[in-house]
Chains A and B, each alone.
Chain A
């Protein structure tokens, strides 16, 4: 046991924890800030923090929209644009058009647009709308994923396709919605398809050629999981072949365990981090065992994919609590000791602060109402279950499970972190569900689910909230209650302003310290994308955000398909009036001070 591990017992008996920001870290960040946005989550650490400070709590009320653009696509506009060399890059949902806007000319005309050929069958295979969570930029290339299972690299200046690699197998239900992360000369990608019984993985592609360099599965034999006993050291588990032996029989072959969220990277530890999704099917009785490494955080070496550690948030997951939400890498002082941690807001309703070198859980507290578990035992890393909330085909209809399968937060709505306030800014949901599992039949190319899951509102009369979270103490600092679930990402800034959007179509700015609302503007459709901020060629600070309700909400609410008469249908009939406030859209908005 190394010395860091001993701290765990101290943490678990509830010492008062404290945070001390590294003096000078912020100044360093400001100096590095170049006003661009080249990675999906701004930086390798996935902080979605920009040191830009022209917009402040004092002047945010003077924000105004300065430009809009219709993407020509109706559907869930998740993710965020990139801004590189005075060009803004926007990826649309299927058919995955890539637009390049010239920010130096009035009206931001297009430099070019790239229209890939995407197999339309993918639209029906994507569980939860034909979304795309954005592109990554490096070395003159804009790299992103197509819904039908390809990664493309496009020349950032000419819009010419440089390479296109098939990474996923659509015919077995693999689609791709996540934003790649480029680490050095490697492009890291993964599939959606947890509802189709895929065997989830991550791959690294060569940035120059698109060649697949390695594939690491999230379940299966060690040889596929890339878990070498010499280098794989999970904090809470021992033994080999865990991705195999924690699944009854050969159920690991249809494990699910997709990778549709975000990837982060620590250059010092040389580890990349990502969360894995649900095990398949939703009827847990068809896959007895812990089902490793479903609903887990994975730490791998970018060079060869070797798994260095893994931690499972929800063993033998029963509620579709995917762990695809971002792993935000920050350094925090916990009990007087500087710790390199990752902070993760899980669908299961707990916020985790984890030592990112070892996988040791330091803090795990609920950030929304949770009733499936009483807490997380820091000694074992395992949740303390309420057995009445366990699901399965033999258990009939299990009522009032909180949070719902949409999560305490959705991985589609990534949080941000401000080193100035030491706080995390998180979009949350406040509703619950019933879960009636049935025997699922595996038929290739069709869903492998086996559950019916209606939703019910949570307590308090609000269905969502935008909150500030202290990851050292594991507590909420402030919240802005919203009428509907909050499904946008957020961005935190050096001006101590945070930006987010709402499902009923408001773009908002709030004071990062107090949570006071500073500015709201109705942007035409529900927001499920993540705002970004950047410096324009004129030196001004801009904030960009997508309007375009969708993601899971395309399935259920808000005139989301004009060819369906019912605006709101099960399981969203718990919020029937959402359709009063939004319908489908696809608009890029840019805001700036008056």
Chain B
């Protein structure tokens, strides 16, 4: 088995499914960061637009990529958390909005999130973002009780 050929084939598949550029509208960005703004003024942020909205094909394709790109090996099956944090619990270290998720995947994050921007076309990353954002967020349960 030629492992490099296998990887090349995988990247091709990824590239093929990343080709289209639909002009769907952007879901509202979640304000997961909850930062405090000095002077009470939010800084202007770069706006990244997700071309896919919650389109089912993109969700399914994103789910497939989540497995195929080994995201699940670090974040657990379904993204429930493992070496990497849960991606489906509604709590975010770096923000759960479209642009923030895109940046997490594209450029990586400091404590061990690899940067995928070099091997994944933007459209493939957007599909993964669409998949992650389509996941139902469980109700927040502040008390864990054993009584």
User: For chain A residues 452-492, which have a beta carbon within 8 Å of chain B?
Assistant: 452
Is the CB–CB distance between A121 and B112 below 8 Å? Answer: yes
Minimal Cβ-Cβ distance residue in A for B114? A445
Q: Give the distance in Å from the alpha carbon of A195 to the alpha carbon of B144 in the complex.
A: 33
Is the CB–CB distance between B1 and A570 below 8 Å? Answer: no
Is the CB–CB distance between B85 and A577 below 8 Å? Answer: no
Among candidates A128, A441, A565, A566, residue contacting B70 with C-beta atoms closer than 8 Å: A441
Interface string of B16-52 (1 = CB under 8 A from A): 0000000000000000000000000000000000000
Most buried by A among B7, B83, B140: B83
Stretch from A65-73, A81-89, A245-253 forming part of the interface with B: A245-253
Interface string of B67-87 (1 = CB under 8 A from A): 011100110110011111110
Is the CB–CB distance between A577 and B1 below 8 Å? Answer: no
Among candidates A125, A254, A563, A577, residue contacting B146 with C-beta atoms closer than 8 Å: A577
User: For chain A residues 567-594, which have a beta carbon within 8 Å of chain B?
Assistant: 567, 569-570, 577, 579-580
Q: Give the distance in Å from the alpha carbon of A577 to the alpha carbon of B82 in the complex.
A: 19
Is the CB–CB distance between A441 and B10 below 8 Å? Answer: yes
Is the CB–CB distance between B112 and A446 below 8 Å? Answer: no
Size of the B side of the interface (Cβ < 8 Å), in residues, is 34
Is the CB–CB distance between B111 and A124 below 8 Å? Answer: yes
Cβ of B61 under 8 Å from chain A: no
Q: How far apart are A449's CB and chain B's nearest CB, in angstroms? A: 5
Cβ of A555 under 8 Å from chain B: yes
User: For chain A residues 421-448, which have a beta carbon within 8 Å of chain B?
Assistant: 441-443, 445-448
Is the CB–CB distance between B1 and A569 below 8 Å? Answer: no
Q: How far apart are B9's CB and chain A's nearest CB, in angstroms? A: 9
Is the CB–CB distance between B86 and A564 below 8 Å? Answer: yes
User: For chain B residues 85-134, which have a beta carbon within 8 Å of chain A?
Assistant: 85-86, 89, 91, 93, 108, 110-114, 119
Cβ of A286 under 8 Å from chain B: yes
A567 to chain B: which residues have CB within 8 Å? 144
B73 to chain A: which residues have CB within 8 Å? 195, 446-447, 449
Minimal Cβ-Cβ distance residue in A for B1? A249
Minimal Cβ-Cβ distance residue in A for B70? A446
A61 to chain B: which residues have CB within 8 Å? none
Cβ of A127 under 8 Å from chain B: yes
Number of A-B residue pairs with CB-CB distance less than 8 Å in the complex they form: 95
A249 to chain B: which residues have CB within 8 Å? 1-2
Q: In the complex where A441-B68, A561-B85 touch, is A570 in contact with B112 (Cβ < 8 A)?
A: no
Minimal Cβ-Cβ distance residue in B for A248? B1
B80 to chain A: which residues have CB within 8 Å? 566, 569-570
Minimal Cβ-Cβ distance residue in B for A444? B7
Cβ of A140 under 8 Å from chain B: no
B81 to chain A: which residues have CB within 8 Å? 561, 564, 566, 569
Size of the A side of the interface (Cβ < 8 Å), in residues, is 39
Q: Give the distance in Å from the alpha carbon of A153 to the alpha carbon of B146 in the complex.
A: 47
Q: How far apart are B80's CB and chain A's nearest CB, in angstroms? A: 6
Is the CB–CB distance between A569 and B10 below 8 Å? Answer: no
A556 to chain B: which residues have CB within 8 Å? 82
Q: How far apart are A335's CB and chain B's nearest CB, in angstroms? A: 47
Cβ of A390 under 8 Å from chain B: no
Is the CB–CB distance between A447 and B111 below 8 Å? Answer: no
- Main SS of the interface on chain A? loop
Minimal Cβ-Cβ distance residue in B for A567? B144
Cβ of A122 under 8 Å from chain B: yes
Cβ of A123 under 8 Å from chain B: yes
Interface string of A101-128 (1 = CB under 8 A from B): 0000000000000000000111111111
Q: In the complex where A120-B111, A446-B69 touch, is A565 in contact with B84 (Cβ < 8 A)?
A: no
Is the CB–CB distance between A565 and B89 below 8 Å? Answer: yes
Minimal Cβ-Cβ distance residue in A for B141? A565
Q: Give the distance in Å from the alpha carbon of A569 to the alpha carbon of B85 in the complex.
A: 12
Minimal Cβ-Cβ distance residue in A for B11? A443
Q: In the complex where A253-B3, A555-B83 touch, is A124 in contact with B112 (Cβ < 8 A)?
A: yes
Q: Give the distance in Å from the alpha carbon of A249 to the alpha carbon of B3 in the complex.
A: 10
Is the CB–CB distance between B74 and A447 below 8 Å? Answer: yes
Is the CB–CB distance between A580 and B1 below 8 Å? Answer: no
B86 to chain A: which residues have CB within 8 Å? 564-566, 569
A441 to chain B: which residues have CB within 8 Å? 6-7, 10, 68-70
B144 to chain A: which residues have CB within 8 Å? 567, 579
A124 to chain B: which residues have CB within 8 Å? 74, 83-84, 111-114
Is the CB–CB distance between A452 and B77 below 8 Å? Answer: yes
Is the CB–CB distance between A564 and B89 below 8 Å? Answer: yes
Minimal Cβ-Cβ distance residue in A for B90? A565
A561 to chain B: which residues have CB within 8 Å? 81, 85
Is the CB–CB distance between A563 and B111 below 8 Å? Answer: no
Minimal Cβ-Cβ distance residue in A for B115? A445
Minimal Cβ-Cβ distance residue in B for A127? B83
Q: Give the distance in Å from the alpha carbon of A565 to the alpha carbon of B74 in the complex.
A: 18
Q: How far apart are B119's CB and chain A's nearest CB, in angstroms? A: 7
Is the CB–CB distance between A121 and B91 below 8 Å? Answer: no
Among candidates B89, B110, B140, residue contacting A121 with C-beta atoms closer than 8 Å: B110
Is the CB–CB distance between A250 and B69 below 8 Å? Answer: no
Minimal Cβ-Cβ distance residue in A for B81? A564
Q: Give the distance in Å from the alpha carbon of A564 to the alpha carbon of B83 in the complex.
A: 12
Q: Give the distance in Å from the alpha carbon of A443 to the alpha carbon of B72 in the complex.
A: 13
B119 to chain A: which residues have CB within 8 Å? 443
Jot down 30 A-B pairs with beta carbons below 8 A, ordered by A. Answer: A120-B112, A122-B112, A124-B83, A124-B112, A124-B114, A125-B112, A126-B83, A127-B83, A195-B73, A248-B1, A251-B3, A286-B1, A441-B6, A443-B10, A443-B119, A446-B69, A446-B114, A447-B74, A561-B81, A563-B91, A563-B93, A564-B81, A564-B86, A564-B91, A565-B91, A566-B89, A569-B76, A569-B80, A570-B80, A579-B144
Q: A122-B112, A124-B111, A561-B81 are in contact. List 5 more A-B contacts (CB 8 A).
A: A442-B3, A446-B74, A564-B89, A565-B86, A566-B81
Closest 9 CB pairs of A and B: A124-B112, A447-B73, A446-B70, A123-B112, A123-B111, A120-B111, A120-B110, A445-B114, A449-B73
